[in-house]
Structure 1
Amino acid sequence: MSTSFDGLGLAADLADVMNRLAGAGAQLSWLIGRHGITQDLAASAGTNAGGDGQKALDLIADDMFRAALTGSAVRFYASEEQDEILDLGPGGLALAIDPLDGSSNIDVDVSIGTIFSIFPAASSAEASFLRPGSEQIAAGYIIYGPQTALIVTFCAGVQHWVLDPETGAWARIADIRPLPPETSEYAINASNYRHWPAPIRAFVDDMVAGAEGPRARNFNMRWIASLVAETHRILMRGGVFLYPADARRGYEHGRLRHVYECAPIALIVTQLGGGATDGADPILSALPAALHARTPFVFGTNAKVARVAAYHDLPGDETSALFNTRGLFRS
């Protein structure tokens, strides 16, 4: 494929890393399109460091991206599928990656993706990643759907690239526009309602109440169970995504990974004027406690993200199911 990121004013080492990521993404897109023809990409393949079940495609994708980046400026390679950080050799960059996000959707042909984050390498492997997300120099994702697209920010807007199936090259199209200030869509897995903390239940209660509730308007709920697909929808038409902590064992700190998933998505969204928090505090200023640490995650249209945070500040009686008493949110 062509070296799409050359000539964009990026440092040569960063442009090379991006070309390698894009090349591996194009190969992975082709392989995903052949699922079931030559191999079962959804076959069980063990458990990763965080305790999540792995599919064959999780490991294939990890191998592909690691091989593509070997010999590049990436010194430290941190993958959701690896227990430890890998040292790929001399270089000045550190790359965190979720090689295959949403692998539970492989069999049902729903959009899946790759999420990546790039930092300047620090003096040690751990220090390169256990730092505020605001120190990222680039972040993005590749979404494998009806159209394979690459969304990336270099901290100056958000670029949108599309894989041309005829040539195998990436074509840059119009940059992603800022998120709309208002939206009528929200995304959350409502089956976990009984486990949520009171502020999240209150926020959703008010959305479900629609025109008859304190928000005095109707809303639509979406849930795809693929972070990349949820993010892409929000970038295209606005909305808010919530994956809160809840009362279930193993979900006390949320379920999504801070380093591999939340920090890069947060950088992209905030570049578009949106917000990204753990429900109350900004994700980009938080310090992950460990490489595979999880965090609650709320992101999307800034007004909605701020409203979720405001629900956490309400008195206890204001977060009860009696949504009509929440006069603060009658707007």
Structure 2
Amino acid sequence: MVTFEEHILGQDQEFSEASGAFGWMLGGLTLAVKRIEAQIRSAGLSDVYGAQGTENVQGEAQQKLDVVANDAMMECLGTREGVAALVSEEDEAAVVFDDDPATGKYILIFDPLDGSSNIDVNVNVGTIFSIHKRLPKDSLEHSILQPGMRQVVAGYVVYGPSTVLVYTAGHGVHGFTLDAASGAFVLTNENMVMPEQGPYYSVNEANAAQWPEAFAGYVETLRNGGLGREYSSRYIGSLVADFHRTLLKGGVFLYPPTKKQPGGKLRLLYEANPLAFVAEQAGGMATSGGGRILDIQPVKIHQRTAFCVGGKREIEALLAAVGAKG
């Protein structure tokens, strides 16, 4: 069996510079994920369903499991050698653990529990993560606000009938399934490829009246077979679940800008960037509608963006419809 830690350390000699620190850090990531998975499995029995009664920095109602998942990530990763800072959707600012550039080499950025509002109805949820290497001659703040094209590792975990971890280190996309017997994430899908064109489009059509005209016209084109095939609508409402289906089956996931949120709703650093990196490494594309997601220069931790990701055929047609470049 090939485990996640073994596989990722074999992908790039750059990681050997950490003298084991990078692998130790990844062990903290998978430990946190397994703790989150265990809490989700027992949520109905341990009174962690429902709202926490507080709001996060986004102004969104925190679910109890949001707090549990964030605590697990902080506890399992915060003491790991090589971790300079952790950046979470749930926290207003980065949590700094090692400000010394010589030893604090990596920054982990994550959404600890994506789709948590769906947990009460037993719908798939996930964790999204991104790892940047600290810029040795720059401030920690600037190192955190790097464009997505500089990610060294990115991926996500889907908590569903099985728990699946998908990641890229810039050398293809690989999937691992949690083996209950060994407690390890075992390689089950190597060199995953997103179909160039697929059968599904995924978007919250309740917002259609608020979309820009070009986006509305594009979705209408998909409905009417304008790309040479019939499309079916599939929308779960958990970003990780919708993206995972798009990666495996093909098609397009859309979260366009709206009149209420003209800059988009999804967060750039810990939602759009990691999934865009995975998509591109699998042969797909990701855009804000105004340009490539991975080229966006972040200006703040919780920056939002429109997010459209999918197969090459679908995204090229979208870019043509909105008059944008990749």
Which residue does the alignment assign to 2:298?
288
Matched, 1:164 2:176: no
Shift in Å, 1:58: 0.7
Shift in Å, 1:116: 0.5
Which residue does the alignment assign to 1:116?
129
Shift in Å, 1:125: 2.9
Distance change (3 Å), C-alpha of 1:46 and 1:38: same
Does the CA-based 8 Å contact 1:3-1:19 persist in structure 2? no
In 1, distance between residues paired with 2:170 and 2:323?
A: 31
Q: Deviations over 1:208-247 (max 9, x none)?
A: 223xxx4453210111111110111111111110001110
Does the CA-based 8 Å contact 2:175-2:192 persist in structure 1? no
In 1, distance between residues paired with 2:282 and 2:229?
A: 25
In 2, distance between residues paired with 1:160 and 1:76?
A: 26
SS for the counterpart of 1:5 is: helix
Shift in Å, 1:103: 0.5
Shift in Å, 1:41: 2.9
Which residue does the alignment assign to 2:196?
181
Which residue does the alignment assign to 1:93?
106
Which residue does the alignment assign to 2:34?
26
Which residue does the alignment assign to 1:240?
252
Does the CA-based 8 Å contact 2:3-2:187 persist in structure 1? no
In 2, distance between residues paired with 1:144 and 1:45?
A: 24
User: 1:306-321 maps to which residues of 2 (within 5 A)?
Assistant: 306-313=316-323
Matched, 1:80 2:95: no
For 2:28, give the aligned amino acid: R
In 1, distance between residues paired with 2:228 and 2:282?
A: 27
Does the CA-based 8 Å contact 1:280-1:308 persist in structure 2? no
Does the CA-based 8 Å contact 1:76-1:121 persist in structure 2? no
Does the CA-based 8 Å contact 1:44-1:54 persist in structure 2? yes
In 2, distance between residues paired with 1:25 and 1:13?
A: 19
Shift in Å, 1:280: 3.2
For 1:121, give the aligned amino acid: R
Deviates more, 1:80-89 or 1:115-124: 115-124
Cα root mean square deviation, aligned? 1.7
SS for the counterpart of 2:224 is: helix
Does the CA-based 8 Å contact 2:4-2:176 persist in structure 1? no
| Structure 2 counterpart of 1:48, from 32, 56, 76 | 56
Does the CA-based 8 Å contact 1:131-1:288 persist in structure 2? yes
Which residue does the alignment assign to 1:132?
147
Does the CA-based 8 Å contact 1:126-1:291 persist in structure 2? no
Does the CA-based 8 Å contact 1:183-1:239 persist in structure 2? yes
Which residue does the alignment assign to 1:201?
216
| Structure 1 counterpart of 2:280, from 270, 288, 300 | 270
| TM-score scaled by length of structure 1 | 0.89
Matched, 1:17 2:25: yes
In 1, distance between residues paired with 2:191 and 2:171?
A: 11
Aligned length: 308
Shift in Å, 1:18: 1.5
* Residue segments in structure 1 that go unaligned for 5+ positions in a row: 315-331
In 2, distance between residues paired with 1:207 and 1:310?
A: 14
Q: Deviations over 1:29-53 (max 9, x none)?
A: 1110001201133323411112222
Shift in Å, 1:265: 0.4
| TM-score scaled by length of structure 2 | 0.90
Q: Deviations over 1:186-205 (max 9, x none)?
A: 10000001000011000011
In 1, distance between residues paired with 2:250 and 2:3?
A: 31
Does the CA-based 8 Å contact 1:269-1:299 persist in structure 2? yes
Shift in Å, 1:269: 0.5
For 2:55, give the aligned amino acid: T
Q: Percent identity between the aligned chains?
A: 35
Which residue does the alignment assign to 1:317?
none
Shift in Å, 1:174: 2.6
Task: Provide runs of 4+ in structure 1 moved above 3 Å.
Answer: 214-217
In 2, distance between residues paired with 1:247 and 1:140?
A: 30
Does the CA-based 8 Å contact 2:173-2:193 persist in structure 1? no
Matched, 1:297 2:318: no
In 2, distance between residues paired with 1:201 and 1:88?
A: 45
Distance change (3 Å), C-alpha of 1:220 and 1:130: same
Which residue does the alignment assign to 1:155?
170
Larger of the two Rg values belongs to structure: 1
SS for the counterpart of 1:39 is: coil
